[in-house]
Copies of this chain bind each other. A is one copy, B any other.
């Protein structure tokens, strides 16, 4: 699997917090693996079958997410089976839900599809839909297309 160019490694290192997040989620598979984990998938086979990802790529991506403390790996054994490994999101990994919800809302608005496969974000009760809002220091909603960035 091709990895980062030296220029990209430099752009992601020691830099702003956006880049530091990208240093952890550095290809689309990583985001999709977090999505699948938030959907309740835990085992290597579950991730592989739901995403259609090659086993070697999956191994490398899961190892990186474990190393970055986004997931933890635990061993388990079912009777008569060999030992297998399960992957669970850490609290930090679960908090990536915010990034995925922001992406979901953008994709729904700007890359519409007929009859799309749908993923909904739910709160602790499993019932209420969760949405993403931007707010200013006074808790007033800010439209995303009015935001600018500044270096400070």
Interface residues of A (CB under 8 A from B): 2, 5, 7-8, 10-12, 14-29, 31-32, 35, 38-40, 51-54, 57, 68-69, 91-92, 94-111, 113, 116-124, 126, 128-138, 142, 144-152
Contacts and interface: CB of A to CB of B under 8 A. Distances in A.
Q: How many copies does the complex hold?
A: 2
A19, A116, A121 pick with most chain B CB within 10 angstroms: A19
Contacts of A109: 92, 95
B149 A110 contact: no
A58 B9 CA distance: 15
13 contacts: A2-B2, A11-B32, A12-B28, A17-B111, A19-B107, A68-B111, A92-B106, A94-B144, A98-B105, A99-B99, A120-B152, A122-B150, A128-B136
Contacts of A14: 113, 116-117
Nearest to A24: B111
Contacts of A132: 98, 102, 132-135
A8 B54 CA distance: 10
Nearest to A37: B149
A137 to B, nearest CB: 5
Contact of A101 (B111, B117, B124, B147): B147
Given A97-B145, A135-B131, A135-B133, A18 B31 contact: yes
